[in-house]
């Protein structure tokens, strides 16, 4: 399945892997702080086994991670969790990791300059240490500006952008066109699911709320070659994964 991944974020680690191996779809493994704290050697072996059949990538724990915080203690927490994620990623030959930056405009806008400097310093240090590509992903961010400023300043091939289309539709005050045109040089991955504005529902691709032909055309028109980026399906359950895969194959012709 080429560069198609599934992110089964509501399932435990072993089940996420089993679901992906069964369907021969690459696995963006969802990590939480608890998964990392409880990680056993047998989990690493399970992942390495799966890695002989499919590609593996990791979604770093998203909660309470503030890599650009003005408080060095808070940045240290982000560094520790991201290091654990990257350590596992390099041990299991992952293609990349995905990390939220959690820039909450209302809270962080007064320190945006130091926020960018601090988070870039952290990401660049981690890339030097682990040499694993990091895709930073939008969550609650309302505009693409913070990502644009970070990625433009970084000029680092191993630091790219994961565009979560569902999160843009749920939370952004800018339309998707603006995100795509602003960040086209940096998009390495898209996360696809459907939702109504204002909520993050993670419904199956093909539910009818999103015009995917139009979005794919928008990407291509902005120079983002859909065959070269990772496409990650983010459903709530196995049925919706299968439905999304069928839609990608039969309607969009992506598989």
**Contact positions vs Zn ion (CB under 5 A):** 164, 191
Cβ proximity to Zn ion, 89 vs 118, nearer residue: 89
Based on CB atoms, which residue is closest to Zn ion, 122 or 165?
A: 165
Query: Please, are residues 169 and 210 in contact by the beta-carbon 8 Å criterion?
Result: yes
| Encoded tokens for 19 | 């679901």
Q: How far apart are CA 20 and CA 206, in angstroms?
A: 20
CB of 193 to Zn ion, least distance (A): 8
Structure tokens at 23: 């369907």
Q: Which residue is nearest to Zn ion (CB)?
A: 191
Q: Which residues are CB-contacts of 19 (< 8 A; sequence separation ≥ 6)?
A: 6, 8, 11, 238, 241
Minimum CB–partner distance for residue 99 and Zn ion (Å): 11
| Rg over CA atoms, the chain | 17
Q: Is the CB of 68 or the CB of 166 nearer to Zn ion?
A: 166
Q: To the nearest whole angstrom, how small is the minimum distance from the Cβ of residue 227 to Zn ion?
A: 20
Q: Which token pair is 161? A: 């952008």
- Closer of 55 and 232 to Zn ion (Cβ): 232
Beta bridge partners of 190: 163, 231
Least distance CB 236 / Zn ion (angstroms): 13
Measured from the CB atom, the residue of 164 and 194 that comes closer to Zn ion is 164
Count other Cβ atoms within 10 Å, centred on residue 254. 19
Shortest distance, position 100 Cβ to Zn ion, whole Å: 8
């Amino acid at each position: 399945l080429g560069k198609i991944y599934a992110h089964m974020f509501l399932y435990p680690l072993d089940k996420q892997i089993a679901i992906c191996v069964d369907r021969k779809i690459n696995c963006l493994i969802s990590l939480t702080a608890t998964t990392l704290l409880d990680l056993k050697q047998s989990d690493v072996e399970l992942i390495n086994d799966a890695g002989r059949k499919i590609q593996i990538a990791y979604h770093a724990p998203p909660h309470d991670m503030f890599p650009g915080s003005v408080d060095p203690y808070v940045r240290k927490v982000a560094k520790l969790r991201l290091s654990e994620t990257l350590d596992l990623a390099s041990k299991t030959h992952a293609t990349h990791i995905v990390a939220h930056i959690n820039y909450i405009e209302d809270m962080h806008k007064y320190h945006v300059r130091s926020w960018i400097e601090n988070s870039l310093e952290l990401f660049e240090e981690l890339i030097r240490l682990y040499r694993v590509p990091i895709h930073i992903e939008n969550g609650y961010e309302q505009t693409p500006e913070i990502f644009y400023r970070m990625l433009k300043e970084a000029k680092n091939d191993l630091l790219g952008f994961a565009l979560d289309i569902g999160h843009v539709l749920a939370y952004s005050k800018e339309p998707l066109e603006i995100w795509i045109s602003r960040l086209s040089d940096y998009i390495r991955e898209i996360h696809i699911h459907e939702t109504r504005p204002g909520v993050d529902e993670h419904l199956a691709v093909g539910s009818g709320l999103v015009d995917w032909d139009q979005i794919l055309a928008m990407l291509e028109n902005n120079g983002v070659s859909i065959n070269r980026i990772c496409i990650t399906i983010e459903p709530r359950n196995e049925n919706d994964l299968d439905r999304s895969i069928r839609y990608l194959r039969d309607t969009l012709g992506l598989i």
